[in-house]
Structure formats: C-alpha cells, structure tokens
C-alpha cells in the first residue's frame, strides 16, 4: 500500500501512465481510421459501378438510336437510286420510240412524194396521148384523180396520227425527265441530311465520351486526394509533436 502510494506520487510513474493512455488512444484512432477507409473504398466502388453502368447504358442507347436513323436514311437513298435508274431506263426506251416514229414519218413523207411524182407523170403521159384515145384518157384521168384523192386523205390521217403520237411521246418524255430531276434533288437532300445527322451523332458521341472521361478523372482525383493527418506520437518527457 505504501509502495503504491509512493509510485503514484513518483513523477516518472505518472509520465509512463500518461504515455500508456496516449498509446491506447493512438491505437483506437488508428483502428477507427482503418475502418473508415475501408468503408470509403466500398462506397466508392459501389458508386463507380453504378455510374459506369448508367453511363454505358446511356451510351448504348444513343448509339442504337443514331444507328437506326442512319439505316433508315441509307434505305431511303437506295430506294431513290433504284427509282432513278428505272426512270432513266424508261426514258431511254421512250426516246428510242420517239426516234422510231420520227423515222417512220420521214419514210412516209418520202413515199408520198414519190407517189405524187408518179401520178403527175401519169397525167403528163395522158395529155400526150389525148389525140389518140380521148375516151381512154378521160377514164384514166378520173381513176388517177380518185386514187390521188384517196391517198391524200389517208396520208393526211396518218400524218395527223404520227404528229399526235410524237407530241404525246415528247410530253411523256419531258414529264419523266422532270420526275428524274425531282428524284435526284430528293436524293441529294437525303444525302445531305444523312451527312448532317452523322456529324451531329459524332458530336453527341464525343460529348458522351468526354463526360465519361470527366467522370472517371473526377473519381480518380477524389480517390487520390484522400489524405490523413499524422497522429501525435508520444515523446519522452511527456511532450508531443504534430507532423503537418
């Protein structure tokens, strides 16, 4: 009992007891910091997983949406190209038909000219033989006039028919050419829209990538910026120094 009272009154005993308490406090604080640090790591890993999952889902949705738009525009362009090719082929065929009608019209005029020339020659010959056989000449003249009149009527009808067919064919060809020009304009407009949509999609994708990179860099910087202050270490003599 006396030894214990003497030890309590001894300053060295008090110093050792104080250092023991500080050491126990140091151990307790160290354990608390370790537990807090582990909890922080678990929390950060959970947030990182959730954020990365959400960002990846958003990125996939954006990609799928723009890929669908690009596919639709590509299909529209292909259909317009096919329609233009069909109209161009049809226009070539109609142009050939017009040329054929024009050539038939020219041939018909040539045949009509030859027929008129031959009928005129027949009239001249009949006039030369007028003194020989007046009755025969009159019969021949009437027959030739009838044939010429009938041929002229037929020629006039066929000429009008050819002219009408040529005009209709030219109008149809003109309408098809206008349709081709309109489709070409639509094709160019669709291609321009596709290019602009591709540019916008690239910009949006780039923004999404930059946002992901910024999120990752912020997480890394917050993780690396985590620091802890040093614990005061007990020194002999009961003094302590804090490291900053």
Query: pLDDT averaged over consecutive 10-residue blocks of the chain (244 residues)?
Result: 51 67 73 74 60 59 74 76 77 78 77 71 53 52 54 69 75 79 79 78 77 74 53 48 42
For residues 171 and 173, give the distance between their C-alpha atoms in angstroms, rounded to a whole number. 5
Rounded to the nearest 10 degrees, the angle between the axes of helix 11-128 and helix 134-224 is: 180
Look at residue 9 in the predicted model and tell me its pLDDT: 59
pLDDT computed for residue 120 by the predictor: 60
Asked if residue 222 belongs to a domain, the reply is: no
pLDDT at 208: 76
Q: Would you state the pLDDT for residue 45?
A: 63
Residue 241: what pLDDT?
Answer: 44
Residue 35 lies in a domain: no
Instruction: Give the per-residue pLDDT at 14.
Output: 66
Output the pLDDT for position 123.
53
Instruction: Give a yes or no: residue 243 inside a domain.
Output: no
Is the residue at 193 inside a domain? yes
Instruction: Look at residue 228 in the predicted model and tell me its pLDDT.
Output: 45
Residue 43 within a domain = no
End-to-end CA distance of the chain: 45
Query: What are the C-alpha distances in Å from 176 to residues 101, 121, 142, 172, 193?
Result: 19, 48, 51, 6, 25
What pLDDT score was predicted for residue 111? 76
Domain containing 200 equals 66-216
CB atoms within 10 A of CB 118: 10
Work out how many domains the chain is built from and give that number.
1
In a domain, 25, yes or no: no
What pTM was estimated for this model as a whole?
0.35
* Cβ count within 10 A of residue 123: 14
Tokens of residue 124, six digits? 């001249």
**Going by C-beta distance under 8 Å and a sequence separation of 6 or more, which residues neighbour residue 124?**
none
Residue 16 within any structural domain of the chain: no
Residue 4 domain-assigned (yes or no): no
């Amino acid at each position: 009992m006396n030894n214990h009272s003497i030890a309590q009154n001894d300053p060295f005993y008090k110093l050792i007891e104080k250092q023991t308490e500080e050491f126990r406090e140091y151990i307790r604080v160290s354990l608390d910091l370790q537990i807090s640090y582990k909890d922080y790591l678990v929390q950060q890993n959970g947030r990182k997983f959730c954020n990365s999952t959400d960002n990846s889902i958003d990125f996939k949705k954006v990609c799928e949406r723009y890929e669908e738009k690009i596919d639709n525009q590509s299909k529209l362009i292909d259909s317009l190209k096919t329609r233009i090719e069909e109209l161009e082929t049809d226009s070539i065929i109609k142009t050939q038909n017009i040329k054929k009608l024009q050539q038939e019209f020219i041939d018909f005029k040539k045949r009509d000219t030859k027929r008129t020339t031959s009928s005129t020659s027949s009239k001249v010959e009949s006039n030369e033989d007028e003194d020989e056989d007046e009755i025969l000449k009159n019969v021949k003249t009437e027959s030739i006039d009838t044939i010429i009149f009938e041929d002229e009527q037929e020629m006039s009808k066929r000429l009008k028919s050819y002219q009408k067919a040529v005009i209709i064919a030219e109008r149809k060809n003109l309408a098809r050419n206008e349709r081709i020009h309109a489709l070409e304009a639509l094709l160019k407009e669709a291609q321009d829209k596709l290019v602009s949509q591709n540019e916008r999609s690239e910009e949006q994708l780039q923004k999404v990538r930059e946002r992901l990179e910024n999120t990752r860099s912020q997480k890394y910087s917050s993780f690396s910026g985590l620091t802890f202050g040093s614990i005061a270490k007990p020194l002999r003599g009961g003094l302590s120094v804090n490291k900053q």
